[in-house]
A and B are shown apart, each in its own frame.
Chain A
Amino acid sequence: MAGHEEESKSKGFRLLGILDVQNTPCARDAILHGAGGSVTAGLLHFLVTSRVRRSYHVGFAGFMLTTLGSWFYCRLNNAKLRVQQRMIQDGIKNKIVYEGTVIDPTRKHGAQTPPGPS
């Protein structure tokens, strides 16, 4: 059962044989947003102007712009999350490794020193 799930996950769908839409982060959302943007832009243009060919061109431009916009927005957020994830992982690792030692960054300096003679 697990082997079948891994097999279906590894055989992603390649759009035009180029981009693996299933296994590439943000790709599926970008293409779907692009398709939606394309249909919306083309349809709106046609409703306003009744020009078929020009509406196809507008629809295509809408696809390109929406796909690119969605892709960059999603990838930027993805990259920020990955940076945060790495910082958290390093922080947890450093806390475990250095806790209780002299170089523990969370140790309060001077808190352990005994008071002077009265």
Chain B
Amino acid sequence: MAHPAQLGFQDATSPLMEELLHFHDHALMIVLLISVMVLYIITCLITTKMTDKHILDSQEIEIVWTVLPAITLILIALPSLRILYLMDEINDPHLTIKAMGHQWYWSYEYTDYEDLAFDSYMLPTQDLSPGQFRLLEADHRMVVPVESPIRVLISAEDVLHSWVVPTLGIKMDAVPGRLNQTAFITARPGVYYGQCSEICGANHSFMPIVVEAVPLNHFEAWTTLMLEEA
């Protein structure tokens, strides 16, 4: 999860987010170099003693400042498109989960094997235990097996919502009447937090998403327990 006053991304938990972080570093280095170049040019302009009122054109510099930006854009576009197509690769998910957005909670349905469905409400601040995170904890987590490709089908029952888990690199709108699909693999066990990212009413800030990745045997035990409680 994010730490206080964090500016950058969270650590990546899925391979896709690792690629996105890599691309972000690449793009930021290009941005830094462009900024340094602009600052240098401004410094040169301010400190020059020469003025020439008779310059009409200069073919060489025109070619330079046309070709260089084109090359820069290609250097940014190629890795970007690669990741874009990587996101849409057909993987063979081991599990499909439906995440439905409501005002103001999420509901999850595991219907592959048994009919398991539950709601996930935010834990109110007064009900938190020491060590739990304010506005992030939920009463029921979306538990998934670690290192297994998971497909999530996202929709909404009432208004627009958005299902987001930054550390997995997932952001997908929950649109009523539409089914959006995303997929992820968690590289390690843990608890991963996200928050609704599409304004949906008074409690838009109070419907978090909590994904818990556990080993497969723990996941099977959890599903058995949830089915018994239902």
Contact = CB atoms under 8 A, between A and B. Distances in A.
Interface of A: 10, 12, 14-16, 18-20, 23-27, 30, 57, 60, 63-64, 67-68, 71, 75, 79, 82, 86, 93
7 contacts: A16-B32, A16-B36, A19-B28, A19-B29, A24-B25, A67-B33, A82-B18
Contact of B15 (A23, A24, A86, A93): A86
B35 A75 contact: no
A64 B37 CA distance: 8
Interface in B24-82: 25-26, 28-29, 31-33, 35-37, 40, 44
Given A18-B35, A63-B36, 17 more contacts: A10-B6, A12-B8, A16-B35, A19-B25, A19-B29, A19-B31, A24-B25, A26-B25, A27-B25, A30-B29, A64-B36, A68-B33, A75-B22, A79-B22, A82-B18, A86-B15, A93-B147
B51 to A, nearest CB: 15
B3 interface: yes
A79 to B, nearest CB: 7
Contacts of A16: 32, 35-36
A54 B45 CA distance: 14
Interface residues of B, number: 20
Contacts of A60: 37, 40
A3 to B, nearest CB: 11
Contacts of B6: 10
Contacts of A20: 8
Nearest to B40: A60
Nearest to A24: B25
Contacts of A82: 18
B25 A15 contact: no
Interface string B186-208: 00000000000000000000000
Contact of B3 (A10, A26, A86): A10
B222 to A, nearest CB: 21
B26 A75 contact: yes
A19 B15 contact: no
The listed residue with most A CB atoms (<10 A of its CB), out of B18, B26, B29, B44, is B29
